[in-house]
């Protein structure tokens, strides 16, 4: 709505830190929920259930708070808003939400969570390649250090020793798929930052609606045995849709509106430790030394890439920054 004022950004209070804690816990627990759901559900079924549940929650939230969706067509053509929401839903949700369950068929849930720490560095590179943003020496060195951390995580020397037919080889492939998923998140951040101005809640709900609809068609090609889906797998999908993709999205919007995108982007640091803890407690997954070393190196790369700014950079949370830019009023 033209002429609407932007929300006033204030310093984080105890309420906002509690909200951030919830966002971190929900985000970090998504990988454990995926592992639970995978027992009897295919990746296509998981992404379908997760997206439709979250789309319903975000749509109800948007409409209940007085938000409206932009017109679907303008001059008999799809509107720019819905085109951005479609591509955002496909690249930022359908593809990565499908890749994560595929990858977790061969890698531990904690490792899937660790790879989320790579997203800010991925976004930095995509901003350079797509938007032509300037890369400082600190950012280049930070990315190189992060890449070293990824190599440590992958431990390709294990594949060399064990052979291409070994479980280590499958784990390496799974980690490459995880990198693809994180890359999708980085590209989505750029899409969100360049989308036409619209109300944040309408945008978030619209993106998930497009994603849910898009995820429906591939569902029929996954070969799901519907009679074999267990109650625990259903609970896993419901958890994914309600908490990491539904309630967390609402809390992120509120935090962006009230305390800004930089604070909200702190969640990128919190998800990996939560995923590690749940992987150990719930599934007795082994915490390999290479996991910790790789994560520490990636975090060091993040710190180095931001060393000139003294605070979170825009690349650290392009998706959050994009949403903040689109907020016209609270």
What pLDDT sits at residue 97? 96
CB atoms within 10 A of CB 55: 26
What pLDDT sits at residue 241? 96
What are the angstrom distances between the C-alpha of 298 and each of 26, 141, 144, 303? 22, 11, 9, 9
Can you tell me the distance from the alpha carbon of 188 to that of 321, in angstroms, rounded to the nearest whole number? 12
Mean pLDDT for each consecutive 10-residue tract of the chain (330 residues)? Answer: 45 88 94 97 96 96 93 90 94 96 95 89 85 84 90 77 67 92 89 83 93 91 90 97 93 81 73 94 93 90 70 44 44
End-to-end CA gap in the chain: 11
The reported pTM is 0.85
What pLDDT sits at residue 278? 96
What pLDDT sits at residue 262? 66
> Domain residue spans in the chain?
14-326
Residue recorded with tokens 């020496």:
137
What are the angstrom distances between the C-alpha of 308 and each of 56, 125, 139, 148, 311? 42, 17, 9, 21, 8
What pLDDT sits at residue 126? 86
Q: Which residues pair with 77 in a beta bridge?
A: 74
Residue 121's contacts (CB-CB under 8 Å, 6 or more residues apart) are: 142, 143, 146, 298, 301, 302, 305
Residue recorded with tokens 């064990």:
162
Tokens (6 digits) for 304: 């180095």
CB atoms within 10 A of CB 117: 27
Instruction: Report yes or no: 24 and 270 within 8 Å, Cβ to Cβ.
Output: yes
DSSP per residue, 19-44: HHHHHHHHHHHHHHHHHHHTTTS-HH
Residue 315's contacts (CB-CB under 8 Å, 6 or more residues apart) are: 120, 123, 124, 127, 133, 305
């Amino acid at each position: 709505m033209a002429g609407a004022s932007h929300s006033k950004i204030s310093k984080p209070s105890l309420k906002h830190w509690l909200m951030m804690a919830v966002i971190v816990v929900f985000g970090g627990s998504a990988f454990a929920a995926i592992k639970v759901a995978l027992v009897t559900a295919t990746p296509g079924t998981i992404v379908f259930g997760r997206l439709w549940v979250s789309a319903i929650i975000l749509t109800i939230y948007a409409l209940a708070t007085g938000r409206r969706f932009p017109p679907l067509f303008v001059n008999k053509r799809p509107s720019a808003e819905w085109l951005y929401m479609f591509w955002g839903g496909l690249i930022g949700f359908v593809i990565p939400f499908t890749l994560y369950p595929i990858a977790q068929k061969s890698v531990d849930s904690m490792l899937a969570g660790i790879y989320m720490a790579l997203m800010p560095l991925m976004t930095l590179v995509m901003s350079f390649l797509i938007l032509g943003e300037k890369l400082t020496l600190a950012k280049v060195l930070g990315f190189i250090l992060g890449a070293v951390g990824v190599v440590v995580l992958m431990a390709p020397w294990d594949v060399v020793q064990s052979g291409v037919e070994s479980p280590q080889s499958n784990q390496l492939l799974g980690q490459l798929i995880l990198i693809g998923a994180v890359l999708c998140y980085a590209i989505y951040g750029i899409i969100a930052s360049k989308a036409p101005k619209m109300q944040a809640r309408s945008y978030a709900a619209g993106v998930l609606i497009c994603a849910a609809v898009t995820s429906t068609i591939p569902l029929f090609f996954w070969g799901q045995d519907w009679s074999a889906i267990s109650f625990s797998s259903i609970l896993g999908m419901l958890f994914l849709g309600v908490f990491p993709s539904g309630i967390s999205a609402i809390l992120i919007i509120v935090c962006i509106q009230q305390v800004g995108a930089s604070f909200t982007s702190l969640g990128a640091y919190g998800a990996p430790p939560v995923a590690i803890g749940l992987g150990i407690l719930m599934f007795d997954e082994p915490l390999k030394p290479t996991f910790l070393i790789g994560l520490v190196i990636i975090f060091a790369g993040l710190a180095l890439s931001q060393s000139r700014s003294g605070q979170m950079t825009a690349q650290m949370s392009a998706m959050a920054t994009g949403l903040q830019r689109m907020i016209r009023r609270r």
